[in-house]
Structure 1
């Protein structure tokens, strides 16, 4: 067991966490005459290390997940979901959402396509909640920062929210609150071409290039904010606002996260810096969930597909689900960190 723990610690710290890279960056800055214990030196070290680490993980993870995703194009996903009924269909939809490395804005067109294809509203909403909130990339990224226990519980809770949210929307029978132009467009079922290995590899590389191009600005901004928090904002201030001294820290973090637009790759460095400064784990994860799931741009896009009442129900489910996740993690933080 001790040998297994040593191997796992090495994998988590040196492979996923890339601690060797942090030491390399620190040595390089020292060679340039920069003191990394100073605020300026620490900020530069944090920025270089986190940027390189996240970009490398981004490329590797998106390539792997995109290759898997090549087996689940929209038409095939529709066929898979169409075979299930009830809660089982919601579970499958939520699981399919985990292999789509999309932000919420990218998930909405697929949501529209699923609705247009005649899938039940609850099933499509389970997919819509799961896709930006939890995916395989988030599992490995969270594992690299917070450890495997936090990562696994985070993903499981996200899936539970997706399944429960979709089931509730199904029970409320809100189909009439989908915009008419989506409900009335006839579904088009295109024949699916079976891809060869070479084509799947090309698809994966295209996804990597497209994703990197799209999210790089958000990663740089997120790492920059994280570097400032890590080196310039007093720990006492973070603890007071987002620590255990503030019982509404989860609510505050969620409300701050909603107007922002980024994906998990952009929020990770901010979350890492906040946790290092004394913010509670649940507060940090609630912020991440709010940014990735309820960003203002994605809600504006979703409003074009659904009417205000259904949009309000969706936002309420996600908001209170995020609240639950945040306070749950705060309660068990001492057990898993």
Structure 2
């Protein structure tokens, strides 16, 4: 789907700039160009799509449904399951976060979706089956869904809405006014479209610096981390390998489909499967670039709490995998 972007990146780096393949700068720059174009396109599409959804979103019905006490956490499970069928990476988190909160979805339920969505999707599942077999894939999917569900429940209990960034609060306030106007005028889609387009451009402009910085960090890590660096610290004899793997993953950036081949290599070199999967979950769900993106919508305290809860859940999942396998 994005092969044309890769061809452009290759042409710029290896032909226009005459850099050699395998060179650290070349690999970092190639990664940066490819992911910048791909992610910005994806993010804008997500923003625009969420804008359309939000303009018709039955806020009160959804809020009332998710607020029913008899659900007993079912809303968190549903959000996690929805995350498994959506092909969003962690870089889509900002527009999705805004869209869910604007739709009146509780913050914890939104977090449940954001945790699961980049970890489990159809591409990752297909690769997982091919690399590790059906049994391991089923266990991974279940653990990913439970990870999102449990994280969402914990985060909701902490009542973190006050730690949303002022920018998001302003977006929510403007959104409420716009929604009221649409309800009064019963506007058609053609009438709503210019407003959706303007809001999409405004949000993209607001998050653009964070996207660029995040991808740049990921590119540097991608190009300059030496081969064999992780294997040195993640051996099966190290009881702290799982938390170390999770923490080492934080500076990295990749989607689940991009990091899975690395996980296979780590496992083939003797690193326990649970440790390797904890590393993958850390790369996909706890990356520094993602933190840079979330800085636009969350305060530092909320990011720290979010990452801390997810880190603990990932570490526990890693140990469980190591026990099972």
Length-normalised TM-score, structure 2:
0.63
Residue 301 (structure 1) aligned with residue 293 (structure 2)? yes
Q: Secondary structure at the match of 2:254?
A: coil
Output one character per residue of 1:247-266: Cα deviation in whole Å (capped at 9) or x when no partner.
11112211111101111122
Deviation at 1:267, TM superposition (A): 0.6
Give the CA RMSD over aligned residues.
3.5
Residue 155 (structure 1) aligned with residue 137 (structure 2)? no
Q: Which runs of 5+ in 2 are unaligned?
A: 1-48, 190-214
Residue 245 (structure 1) aligned with residue 237 (structure 2)? yes
Do the aligned partners of residues 157 and 78 (structure 1) sit closer, same or farther apart at CA in structure 2, a change above 3 Å counting? farther
- d(CA) in 2 for partners of 1:93, 1:192: 29
Aligned to 2:102: 116
- d(CA) in 1 for partners of 2:164, 2:321: 34
- d(CA) in 2 for partners of 1:109, 1:192: 23
Contact 2:248–2:279 under 8 Å retained in 1: yes
Do the aligned partners of residues 292 and 77 (structure 1) sit closer, same or farther apart at CA in structure 2, a change above 3 Å counting? farther
Q: 1:329 is matched with which residue: 312, 317, 321?
A: 321
Q: Secondary structure at the match of 1:119?
A: coil
Of 84-93 and 112-121, more deviation after overlay is shown by: 84-93
Aligned to 2:277: 285
Contact 1:97–1:128 under 8 Å retained in 2: yes
Q: What are the equivalent positions in structure 2 for 1:80-229 lying under 5 Å apart? A: 82=63, 83-85=65-67, 87-184=73-170, 185-187=173-175
Q: Secondary structure at the match of 2:174?
A: coil
- d(CA) in 2 for partners of 1:78, 1:294: 32
Output one character per residue of 1:1-32: Cα deviation in whole Å (capped at 9) or x when no partner.
xxxxxxxxxxxxxxxxxxxxxxxxxxxxxxxx
Number of positions where the alignment pairs a residue of Structure 1 with one of Structure 2: 234
Deviation at 1:116, TM superposition (A): 2.2
Q: Secondary structure at the match of 2:118?
A: helix
Aligned to 1:55: none
Output one character per residue of 1:159-182: Cα deviation in whole Å (capped at 9) or x when no partner.
111111111121111111112332
Contact 1:111–1:124 under 8 Å retained in 2: yes
Do the aligned partners of residues 263 and 303 (structure 1) sit closer, same or farther apart at CA in structure 2, a change above 3 Å counting? same
Contact 2:165–2:296 under 8 Å retained in 1: yes
Length-normalised TM-score, structure 1:
0.61
Q: 1:316 is matched with which residue: 302, 308, 314?
A: 308
